[in-house]
Amino acid sequence: MRDAASGLAERPGLAGTPARLLLAFAALVSDTVREAFARRIVWGIYGSSAFVLAFLAFVLEIDIVSGAKATITLFGQEAMSTGSVERLNEFIGYIQGAIAAFLYAVSTFIGVFVCAGLSAAIFEAGRAELLLARPLPRGLILLARYTGSVLMVALNVLLLIGGSYLILGAKSGFWNLAFLWAIPITCFLFSVLMALVLLVAVVAENAAVAMIVTFVAMVFSPILAQNDLAIRLLPSQFARNLWKAGYLVLPKVYELGAMLLTLVRGDEVESWLPVTSSAAFAAAALALAWLLFARRDH
- The residue among 31, 35, 10 whose CA lies nearest residue 115 is 35
The correct pick among 49, 57, 135, 286 for binding another protein (CB under 8 A) is 135
- Closer to another protein by Cβ: residue 47 or 137: 137
- Closer to another protein by Cβ: residue 3 or 90: 3
In angstroms, how far is CA 95 from the centroid of its own chain? Answer: 21
Q: 150-179: which residues touch another protein (CB under 8 A)?
A: none
- Taking CB under 8 A as the rule, does residue 297 contact another protein? yes
Please give the Cα distance from 253 to 246 (Å, whole number).
13
- Taking CB under 8 A as the rule, does residue 291 contact another protein? no
- Taking CB under 8 A as the rule, does residue 40 contact another protein? no
Distance in Å, CB of 129 to another protein, minimum: 4
- Closer to another protein by Cβ: residue 205 or 255: 205
Contacts of residue 283, Cβ cutoff 8 Å, sequence gap at least 6:
195
- Closer to another protein by Cβ: residue 36 or 211: 36
Distance in Å, CB of 218 to another protein, minimum: 29
Torsion of CA 31, 37, 38, 44, to 10 degrees: 160
Query: What is the spatial order of strands in the sheet that 60-65 belongs to?
Result: 60-65, 69-74, 77-82
Please give the Cα distance from 184 to 157 (Å, whole number).
9
CA atoms within 13 A on the CB side of 229: 5
Please give the Cα distance from 129 to 121 (Å, whole number).
12
Please give the Cα distance from 136 to 141 (Å, whole number).
8
Amino acid at 78: E
- Closer to another protein by Cβ: residue 14 or 80: 14
Site string for another protein, 239-278 (x = CB under 8 A): ----------------------------------------
- Taking CB under 8 A as the rule, does residue 206 contact another protein? no
**Which residues partner with 78 through β-bridges?**
73
CB 296 within 8 A of CB 205: no
- Taking CB under 8 A as the rule, does residue 44 contact another protein? no
Distance in Å, CB of 152 to another protein, minimum: 14
CB 138 within 8 A of CB 294: yes
Residue 105 CB neighbour total at 10 angstroms? 15
Of 56-64, 124-132, 190-198, 202-210, which segment contacts another protein by CB under 8 A? 124-132
- Closer to another protein by Cβ: residue 138 or 265: 138
Of 108-116, 129-137, 208-216, 229-237, which segment contacts another protein by CB under 8 A? 129-137
Number of residues that bind another protein (CB under 8 A): 42
Where do contacts with another protein occur on this chain (CB under 8 A)? 2-14, 20, 23-24, 26-28, 31, 34-35, 38, 121, 124-138, 295, 297-298
